[in-house]
Amino acid sequence: MLKTVEKQRESIFADSKVKKLGKFLEDHCKPVKWTGYNGKSVEMMTLEVQKAREYKALYDNLCTSFITPEERMENLILLKRAIELHSCITSRDLKELIDREILLSSREIGEASSQYLRKRIS
Query: Domain residues for 53?
Result: 20-63
d(CA 99, CA 79): 11
Residue 87 is predicted with a pLDDT of 86
At 72 the pLDDT is: 85
- 79 CB burial (10 A radius; 0-12, 13-18, 19+): buried
Contacts of 74 (CB under 8 A, 6+ apart): none
In this prediction, what percent of the chain has a pLDDT beyond 70? 93
Q: What pLDDT is attached to residue 50?
A: 93
- 44-77 pLDDT, tens digit each: 999 999 999 998 998 888 888 788 888 888 988 9
| Total tally of structural domains belonging to the chain | 2
Is residue 114, in this structure, part of any structural domain at all? yes
* 90 and 49 co-located in one domain: no
Q: Is 6 among the domain residues?
A: no
What integer is the mean pLDDT of 9-37? 89
The pLDDT value given to residue 29: 92
2 assigned to some structural domain: no
43 and 70: one domain? no
Of 26-35, 65-74, 107-116, the one with minimum mean pLDDT is 107-116
Same-domain check for residues 93 and 111 = yes
Give the model's pLDDT for residue 20. 92
Does residue 113 register a pLDDT over 70?
Answer: no
